[in-house]
Structure 1
């Protein structure tokens, strides 16, 4: 998971979401009426999906696992729990079908004492405050109750393909950084292409973890190797995507 920037809604779409929410409120919002209204809102969902695609990490990846194509608009707080949030823009995230339909479904764990939800919303908080990614193993450690619950609900460590994918992505990141280091002074076009490939990597959480690693130079050089570490430092001076 990586933090996501949610654009502010204006104009027709904002008005449409408000109108649909008021219709639900007036008619009596229930799980059934919320789901029926959502099912029938094809044009509204298409516009929402376009905005979510722009927010998504990498090449339209799932905002939860970061690995698969984001195909579904997930209600972070499920319609079954909060039907009045069916058309709440701040309650919409892009998910792959597996995370949305197979794993999360209507789950929304909450702290039994405080009532606070225990899933990370990457559009409202930095997942790195709750999750630590071990680059060489590809596994996550939960730093908080919210981090541990998110790992469990989305199977971030239990799904072997995710762990192997993150481990492979780390190898790819190091290779691309070394390649960029070789071309940065002699082939600007190739260097730009390599930088774009890094920034659009399918496992954006791996790339972000590498960037965060650069804050500890001695550890970064040990983990990345001298050429990849040097490239990361140079890229940070040239491109805000690497800071």
Structure 2
């Protein structure tokens, strides 16, 4: 997972979502009324999906696993638990079918003491505050209770294809950095675009973050890859450490 920026809604769409919420409130907020209203909201759902696709990592990847194509509008706090948030723009994320329908479903673990949700919201916080990705293994280590809940709900470590995919993507990132450094201007832009749009964007972000500790970056990346990374960040403002 990586942090994401949620754009503001256009006034017309925001008003339409407010009217839909008012309709649920008038009908009596419930799982049934929330889901019925959501099924009927064809036009606003299409607009929301477009916005979510634009803010998704890589090539419209799932905002949770970062691997599969984001196909579903997920209600971060499920309709079953918060029907009045059915049309809340701050409650919508783009998910793949597996994360949405197979893993999360209506699950939304809460702190037993406070009732606060425990899942990490990538639009409200930096997932790196709760999850540490180990590039050599492709596995996540929870840094907080919230990180632990997020790893468990989305199966970030118990889905072998995700762990292996992140590990292999680390090798791809290193190869692309070295190839970018050796390429001419036109080809270099293609390799930079490939880096910006890779699957498992969390791998690239972890690599970029290594530069905060020079000794660690050198140990993990090696001198040649680290030099290429330094050059990329010095010449392309679209990448930030």
Query: Smaller-chain TM-score range?
Result: over 0.9
In 1, Cα distance between equivalents of 2:142 and 2:225:
28
**TM-score, normalised relative to structure 2:** 0.98
Runs of 4+ in 1 over 6 A off after TM superposition: none
In 2, Cα distance between equivalents of 1:32 and 1:162:
34
Q: Which residue of 2 aligns with 1:172?
A: 172
Counterpart contact for 1:232–1:242, Cα < 8 Å = no
In 2, Cα distance between equivalents of 1:218 and 1:182:
24
Matches within 5 A, 1:182-221: 182-183=182-183, 187-221=184-218
Q: Which residue of 2 aligns with 1:239?
A: 236
Shift in Å at residue 224 of structure 1? Answer: 1.2
Matches within 5 A, 1:36-47: 36-47=36-47
In 1, Cα distance between equivalents of 2:29 and 2:122:
27
1:27-62, CA deviations, whole angstroms, 9 ceiling, x for partnerless residues?
Answer: 211100100110111111000000000110000000
Q: Which residue of 2 aligns with 1:15?
A: 15
In 2, Cα distance between equivalents of 1:48 and 1:78:
17
In 1, Cα distance between equivalents of 2:217 and 2:198:
19
1:121-143, CA deviations, whole angstroms, 9 ceiling, x for partnerless residues?
Answer: 00000000000000010000000
Q: Which residue of 2 aligns with 1:54?
A: 54
Matched, 1:162 2:159: no
Unmatched 5+ stretches in structure 2: none
Q: Which residue of 2 aligns with 1:222?
A: 219
Q: Which moved more, 1:93-102 or 1:220-229?
A: 220-229
1:106-163, CA deviations, whole angstroms, 9 ceiling, x for partnerless residues?
Answer: 0010010121111000000000000000001000000000000100000000000000
Structure 2 residue matching 1:242: 3-state secondary structure: coil
Matched, 1:116 2:113: no
In 1, Cα distance between equivalents of 2:182 and 2:155:
38
Structure 1 residue matching 2:238: 3-state secondary structure: helix
**TM-score, normalised relative to structure 1:** 0.97
In 2, Cα distance between equivalents of 1:79 and 1:197:
37
In 2, Cα distance between equivalents of 1:74 and 1:48:
11
Matched, 1:2 2:2: yes
Unmatched 5+ stretches in structure 1: none
